[in-house]
Amino acid sequence: MEIADDLLRGVKRISAFINEDERATYHKLSTGKLPGGKEGNQWIASKSVLREHYAALTRGKAA
């Protein structure tokens, strides 16, 4: 898999991927409750890391 295939760029795409409100997604990213980072002014996140984050939550272990 290419890195580009795993990346989500922008809060809009990240929130769509996790089926969450954009404002809530931004808040979680900016407070570190959701794994992601900024490249310039744009938030980026990895699909595989987000999947693991939510898998850990459902196992009862915070990522």
Q: pLDDT, tens digit, for every residue of 12-63?
A: 999 999 999 999 999 999 999 999 999 999 999 999 999 999 999 998 765 5
CA distance linking residue 10 with residue 43, whole number of Å = 5
> What's the distance, CA 33 to chain centroid?
9
CA distance linking residue 63 with residue 50, whole number of Å = 10
> Hey, what domains does the chain have and what are their CATH numbers?
3-58 (1.10.10)
CA distance linking residue 27 with residue 12, whole number of Å = 13
Q: Cβ(43)–Cβ(10) under 8 Å?
A: yes
Please give the pLDDT value at position 63.
53
